[in-house]
A = this chain, B = another copy of it.
Amino acid sequence: MGLAFSCVLLGCASAVWAANDALPSWTAGPAKQAIVKFVGEVTHKGSPRYVAPAERIAVFDNDGTLWSEQPLYFQFIFLLDQVKAAAPQHPEWKDNPAFKALQSGDHALIAQHQKELLQLMAVANSGMTVAEYDKTIRDWIATARHPKFKKPYTELVFKPQLELLAYLRANGFKTYIVSGGTIEFMRPWAEKVYGIPPEQVVGSSQLIKFELRDGKPTLVRDAKIDFVDDGPGKPVGIYRNIGRWPLIAFGNSDGDLQMLQTVAARPGGGLALIVHHDDAEREFAYDRQSSIGKLDKALDQAQSDGWTVVSMKRDWKRIYP
Is A25 part of the contact surface with B, judged by Cβ < 8 Å?
Answer: no
23 A/B residue pairs, CB under 8 Å, sorted by A:
A54-B197, A57-B199, A130-B239, A187-B243, A198-B242, A198-B243, A198-B244, A199-B241, A199-B242, A199-B243, A201-B243, A208-B239, A209-B232, A210-B235, A210-B236, A210-B262, A211-B232, A212-B261, A216-B265, A217-B258, A217-B262, A219-B235, A219-B236
Which range contains the number of A residues in contact with the other chain? 20 to 34
State the oligomeric state as a number of copies: 2
Contacting A205 at CB < 8 Å: which of B183, B217, B240? B240
Interface residues of A (CB under 8 A from B): 54, 57, 130, 174, 183, 187, 191, 197-199, 201, 205, 208-212, 216-217, 219, 232-233, 235-236, 239-244, 258, 261-262, 265
Chain B contacts of A210 at CB under 8 A? 232-233, 235-236, 258, 262
What distance in Å separates the Cβ of A64 from its nearest Cβ neighbour in chain B? 21
Minimum C-beta distance from A272 to chain B (A): 11
Q: Which residues of B contact A211 (CB under 8 A)?
A: 232
